Structure 1
Amino acid sequence: MPTQTTDRSALQGDCGRCFGLCCVALPFARSADFALDKPGGTPCPNLGEGYRCGIHARLRESGFVGCTVYDCFGAGQRVSQETFGGKAGGRLMFDVFPVVRRLHELLWYLTEALDLPAARPVHGELRRARERTEELVRLGAEELVALDLSGHHDDVSALLLRASELVRGGRGKDRRGADLMGARLRGADLRGASLRGALLIAADLSGADLRGADLIGADLRDTDLTDADLTGAFFLTQPQVNAARGNGGTRLPGSVGRPVHWAAGG
């Protein structure tokens, strides 16, 4: 299980050191998650001076639920302060941002895998993969935009799968890629399960036992995690938790925080 000994603070968003890239670079489509349409490269009308959101404290009630779910894995400040040296870079910066976000997400998983004692047989390969990913992040803006990440992504994914299999040790159900949308799994025993890429939108996992489960890529939008136990669950990210529903009784691994909106029942 994760011991949380490796620092991942650089892989967490720091809006104070970012040029509001998620509010400018990314497109919004009017939906239950966003109150309006916004093309990529156009600032959100709620973005104010100093690249600060003018409705940050009331995003959900204002129809911007998607903003409370999103996390850039620290790509925003990396691009703003390092790739572009603290100077706004226009369209090129907007194109670089999603590339670095993808690389930072890989760094998140690789770093967590190195905190899994049972994955020790592949720690050497994990370190090399992390070093290579860091090398890619440090490329110049033009090189990042031209980067073909598919091969590197596939290599990392295969390595993370090997780490997962070592950690799970053949225990738990294999529900990789399963369509569990709206499934009634209240109180289910999912200890050590592989839920990699599983579709769990609006599923009822209240009171479920997810200790030691692999949740990489699982779609947890509107998933009910009320009183569920995710102690030791791994490859779980903050955006996944933010997209789910939970309460004070939901037990989370130390790598993620409890969303503020859970206290309000949202």
Structure 2
Amino acid sequence: MREADTPAGSPTTGGRRVTQETRTLPAHAPGAVETPFVIQGYEEVVAYDTVWNDHSHPFHELLWNERGASSAIVGSRIWTITPAVGLWMPAGTLHSGVAAAGTCLRACFFGFRTTASISDAPVAVEITPLLRLLLERLGEPELRRASRAATEALVLDVLAPAPRELLVRLPSSPLLRPIADAVREDPGDRRTLTDWAAARGVGPRTLTRAFTAETGTSFARWVGAVRAQHAIGLLTRGWEVEAVAEQVGYRSSSAFGAAFRRATGLTPGAFRPS
């Protein structure tokens, strides 16, 4: 657990106030631990900024949030998980995670031997009103066995990869990694691909080809995803929309709002604490 000074009234450990919690979980192979459930729900409101180490589960996992946002990291890929778009994590997939204080985490665990994976790799899942309703029903403590089995079957039937995901792939080449690090450090940096090409001593076409090859998307779309991920973190901490828009490089809150909705499917206000 990492400790640092925080405002008066925060919990303390050893005379210092806690602001971040680090959780260590084991790495399990798929099916390594018997799971006597078909679908089992989990919910938690994290009190502090929380970091999970690299770990893997013996069961499949569906992650989403009731409010706030979190991120899951698999290798060079970073997904932001929101109330609208969750993430399917297949059993045995090594991943780490982060969540901001106050985030209400939701998850469902799917028995490895009793359910099939919807994907062999992590994939975004749209948390539709129907899926949410079914998952809420599974949380009812008095649900009869037959009703539970029917509801679980419906959940498995409606689960499907989402048409969009808030994913950032990090390039690793010496040409692109300094650019990626600079943009992630300051998403408000307005330098264009042409500006970066000049700074790296290559032509714009070279940089375009390299970016597409390493990230699977264009430089502009990649920057937009980085900005959306960063904006979500600021919004969940209570920043005003106008301040967030400026911080992540948009000249107006309306331009930011439109770009944010395209990336997340939600308005910026959906992530501000109520």
Pairwise TM-score range, normalised by the shorter structure: under 0.3
State the TM-score, normalized to the length of structure 2. Answer: 0.25
Point out which structure has higher relative CO (alpha carbons under 8 A, 6+ apart): 2
User: Which entry has the higher C-alpha Rg, 1 or 2?
Assistant: 2
Bigger strand share: 2
When the two structures are superposed, what TM-score results if normalisation uses the length of structure 1? Answer: 0.26
